[in-house]
Structure 1
Amino acid sequence: MLGGCGAWPAAGQACSGYLLEHDGFRLLLDPGYAVLPRLLERAAAEQVDAVLISHGHPDHCADLNPLLRARALREDPPPALPVHTLPGAIDAVLALDRPGMLQDAYRLREFTAGSGFEVGPFRVASWDLPHFVPNAGLRLSAGGRSLAYTGDTGPSPDLVELARDTDLFLAEATYPYQVPCEDSTFLSSALQAGQYADRAGTGRLLLTHLWPRSDPAAALDAARRGCFCPVDVARAGQVVDLDWPSPRSSL
């Protein structure tokens, strides 16, 4: 886990950002604000093999820009980085630099929510989930293991199918118990995440995108009221090995 803050990064933290590794392939999922410095503690920019982005809010994609700069401005630039995202989702991020500056640093691979595709060794299935902007829920499978990720989403019956029988459910939980009325169609609570995880029969639930000043203990309490599987809160530096019986923190 590279970060798990929603909206903006708290002091010393980062927004949504997750590094998935399988058979030597590194996939960066959602490079939000402040994710790049966390990534560089684990791998060089040129060692990222692909990027997958759930939606276009900057707390999920803004650090694509410095990642591409770190690759493009080397004396020996690596091959163009495949970037998989919804149509138009990262246009604003790609427009931050002068025209053409980063054009050789990436290859855009747009997909529509509801489609399936492959990224390296990962098989990806996607769902169109409700948010303020188009958002893709993502299910990644490799080596007989599976992970479901909501991006940011409001309530949807598709969340059960997204997470069904997965080893790990990485779920947005901006609020602990109740989402304010004005956001209730487009964001979720930890309580809701726990309920969906229980209905889906997922092996483990990992809460992410918590409001920066919220209490992780309250989120855990809320989620545990909804499900009986192991629950934790995503923390920067945390490593989850799906071949291990429980999450463990990196050194």
Structure 2
Amino acid sequence: MRLTIVGCSGSYPGPGSAASCYLLEEEHEGRTWRILLDLGNGALGQLHRYADPLTIDAVFVSHLHADHCLDLCGYYVMRKYHPTGPQPRIPVWGPAGAAARMARAYDLPADPGMTEEFAFHDYAGGEHGSPVELGPFRVEAHEVVHPVAAYALKVTAGGRTLVYSGDTAACPALDEAAADAHLLLAEASFVSGADNPPDLHMTGADCGRTASKAGVERLVLTHIPPWYDPAVAEAEARREWSGPIDLARAGATYDV
């Protein structure tokens, strides 16, 4: 599968990137299937650079903070009022309460909210949530540590696996999700040695240790806020792990 980084700025859109959004594509049954991991503020406009937003098959939201979900509001407008007519409903998977959260975000009545445009589904059932099978993709949600319900997303297609940390502190659930992943897309919002709040985000060092414990093939550091130098996160990660490391940048692509 191919990963395109649509947006990777941490906490809010930065001067060089929208907030979190990752496009995954895979050929299957004679067509290209496309899913999004998160659709944070600023990302919908940038998505047009890489794919027609109307060809997306599903959206998977890691958690309901604005920098990971708020452009569902613009996507709702696009799908509802597009000049070719209202578009078919597409599935949106996320934490419980996503439908109500998005209705509030756009000042809509809870019923119908955005449910005529999006078919909302909760990550629920089983130890890590019920795996979602969609075309060539299998998506597993692993609950991780954050102030709100948040999930790391493990995506498998064609025998290859990408794991996206979402927002999380370092935790055993992420280690388990990332085990033997071919690509780990891990958030590095914090800098080691700073007065970092607990149970919120990871440092570059945390990402390196996670990659080492999980035995991943490649580490891509993402969600670095504009107020930090990404080179610091990279240097921290390299001290903890000797494998391939990249800094996420908008427009970069990876064949996982």
What is the TM-score when the length of structure 1 is the normalising length?
Answer: 0.91
Cα displacement (A) at 1:117: 2.2
The corresponding residue for 1:217 is 231
Q: Return the alpha-carbon distance in structure 1 between the equivalents of residues 200 and 194 of structure 2.
A: 9
1:88 pairs with 78, 97, 119, which one?
97
Q: What are the Cα deviations for residues 20-54 of structure 1, in whole angstroms up to 9, with x where unaligned? A: 11111110111001000110111222111100001
1:77 pairs with 81, 86, 89, which one?
86
What is the TM-score when the length of structure 2 is the normalising length?
Answer: 0.89
The corresponding residue for 2:25 is 21
**What's the RMSD between the two structures over aligned residues?**
1.6
Give % identity: 37
The corresponding residue for 1:168 is 183
The corresponding residue for 2:8 is 4
Cα displacement (A) at 1:93: 2.1
Q: What are the Cα deviations for residues 129-168 of structure 1, in whole angstroms up to 9, with x where unaligned? A: 1101010111110101100111111121122211111110
Q: Return the alpha-carbon distance in structure 1 between the equivalents of residues 101 and 200 of structure 2.
A: 22
SS of equivalent to 1:93: helix
Q: 1:48 and 1:241, CA in 2 relative to 1: closer, same or farther beyond 3 A?
A: same
Letter in 2 for 1:33: N
Q: Return the alpha-carbon distance in structure 1 between the equivalents of residues 98 and 212 of structure 2.
A: 31
SS of equivalent to 1:193: helix
The corresponding residue for 1:110 is 122
Kept after mapping to 2: 8 A contact 1:178/1:189: no
Bigger drift between 64-73 and 87-96 goes to: 87-96
Q: 1:32 and 1:50, CA in 2 relative to 1: closer, same or farther beyond 3 A?
A: same
Q: Return the alpha-carbon distance in structure 2 between the equivalents of residues 240 and 35 of structure 1.
A: 18
Cα displacement (A) at 1:78: 2.2
SS of equivalent to 1:36: helix
Determine whether 1:184 maps to 2:198: yes
Q: What are the Cα deviations for residues 200-248 of structure 1, in whole angstroms up to 9, with x where unaligned? A: 1100001111111211111111111111110011111111112xxxxxx
Q: Return the alpha-carbon distance in structure 1 between the equivalents of residues 233 and 99 of structure 2.
A: 30
Letter in 2 for 1:74: H
SS of equivalent to 2:221: strand
Q: Return the alpha-carbon distance in structure 2 between the equivalents of residues 8 and 103 of structure 1.
A: 26
Q: 1:56 and 1:102, CA in 2 relative to 1: closer, same or farther beyond 3 A?
A: closer
Cα displacement (A) at 1:101: 6.6
Deviating beyond 6 angstroms after TM superposition, the runs of 4 or more aligned structure 1 residues are none
Q: Return the alpha-carbon distance in structure 2 between the equivalents of residues 122 and 175 of structure 1.
A: 31
Q: Which runs of 5+ in 2 are unaligned?
A: none
Q: Return the alpha-carbon distance in structure 2 between the equivalents of residues 210 and 12 of structure 1.
A: 12
The corresponding residue for 2:219 is 205
The corresponding residue for 1:246 is none
Q: Return the alpha-carbon distance in structure 2 between the equivalents of residues 174 and 119 of structure 1.
A: 31
Q: Return the alpha-carbon distance in structure 2 between the equivalents of residues 101 and 186 of structure 1.
A: 30
SS of equivalent to 1:240: strand
Kept after mapping to 1: 8 A contact 2:100/2:113: no
Q: Which runs of 5+ in 1 are unaligned?
A: 243-251
